[in-house]
Homo-oligomer: A and B are copies of this chain.
């Protein structure tokens, strides 16, 4: 499949694993990832792009295996100084990792676009594939908290929900600040239209894939490619593999099962890969208008990720 172009809609950890599987079975030069930037934040004056970095570090083989984010062989001297001053320390920034944010911030200040800086960073790690931020404009996932706590009704940034509160609070609603005024990055629509196969990675549908779809033009382009689009369910046996996807789906009125995922993705993807644990639901998925493909989808090892990638790519347009 050397000449087959593959474009992947991507969040962070789940997408990084899916991409590492895809890169094992195809030429990296044929792969494009369109990456969520709704999780991005400005902190300490720095521009931080967690999903772009998680993918970059994972594919470089440098992700911190203990945390699942940041770089391996990390030290924390800068944060220790920040803590001495009583500064903002809930968002952990390792010393090695900080270099990425310093570079990105400096280049943006010099007038480079996020697309350009991302290409420079991925080149430096010799990744081979193309990572495209979904937009060079400001897009921020905002979360309104629910529940009985003091902050019920408060709208916070995604990272204030996800990291500062460790996604341990119920959510009333999610919106994508800046989405309406944003434009897709310069190569994004072309990457969707030109792809032979489009993949929706097993990322959080609400806070990783939805902000990508909120950028004007993306959803329409994706709908036009529905026949060649394969989604992988991030929900397995009614639970998220990582993070709050299951709770968010429930809290926002969706079913936290592959059926809820099937309803969300049926307009966008002809095929939905569901885990063997959900094989019994295949018929119900099919009835929702999206073709189920059952596979081992929990990417515990590189071999499983590669096998899943083969399944995904051979399912497209089938």
Please tell me if A97 contacts chain B, counting CB pairs below 8 Å: yes
> How far, in Å, is A184 (CB) from chain B's closest CB?
25
Q: Answer whether residue A219 sits at the interface, using C-beta atoms and an 8 A cutoff.
A: no
B87 in contact with A107 (CB, 8 Å) = yes
**Cross-chain contact A47 with B45 (CB below 8 angstroms):** yes
Considering only CB atoms, which chain B residue lies closest to A47 in the complex? Answer: B45
Of the candidates B44, B96, B109, the one whose C-beta lies within 8 Å of that of A102 is B44
- What are 16 A-B contacts defined by CB distance under 8 Å? A44-B46, A45-B106, A46-B102, A77-B96, A78-B98, A80-B96, A80-B99, A81-B97, A81-B102, A81-B103, A82-B102, A85-B99, A85-B103, A87-B107, A95-B95, A95-B98
Q: Which residue of B lies closest to A45 (CB)?
A: B105
Among residues 24 to 68 in chain A, which have CB atoms less than 8 Å away from a CB atom of chain B? 42-47
Residues 73 to 129 of chain A near chain B (Cβ within 8 Å): 74-75, 77-88, 93-103, 105-107, 109, 120-121, 124-125
Beta-carbon contact of A120 and B85 below 8 Å: yes
Contacts of A121 in B (CB 8 A): 85
Task: Assess the A103–B46 pair: CB atoms within 8 A.
Answer: no
- Give the shortest distance, in Å, between A113 (CB) and chain B (any CB): 16
**Closest B residue, CB atoms, query A102:** B44
Contacting pair B98 A81 (CB below 8 A): yes
Q: A124 contacts which of B78, B86, B101, B105 (Cβ < 8 Å)? A: B86
Q: Name the residue in A47, A103, A120 with the highest tally of chain B Cβ atoms < 10 Å from its Cβ.
A: A103
Q: Are A85's CB and B45's CB within 8 A? A: no
Closest CB in chain B relative to A301 CB, distance in Å? 28
Chain B hits for A125, CB < 8 A: 84
Chain A contacts to B: CB under 8 angstroms = 42-47, 71, 74-75, 77-88, 93-103, 105-107, 109, 120-121, 124-125
Q: Say which residue of B82, B100, B103, B109 sits within 8 Å of A103 (CB atoms).
A: B82
Contacts of A95 in B (CB 8 A): 75, 77-78, 95, 98
- Complex Cα distance, B171 from A25, in Å, reads 59
CB proximity of A124 to chain B, nearest CB, Å? 5
Give the distance to chain B from A127, nearest Cβ to Cβ, in Å: 13
Q: Name the B residues within 8 Å of A109 (CB-CB).
A: 42, 45
Cα–Cα, bound, A107→B120 (Å): 30
Beyond the given pairs A46-B102, A77-B94, A85-B120, 8 more chain A to chain B contacts, judged by CB atoms under 8 angstroms and listed by A's residue number, are A45-B47, A46-B46, A71-B81, A77-B77, A80-B99, A81-B98, A81-B100, A88-B106
For A106, give the chain B residue with the smallest CB separation. Answer: B44
Chain B contacts of A85 at CB under 8 A?
A: 99-100, 103, 120-121, 124
Report the Cα distance A43→B99, complex, angstroms.
Answer: 12
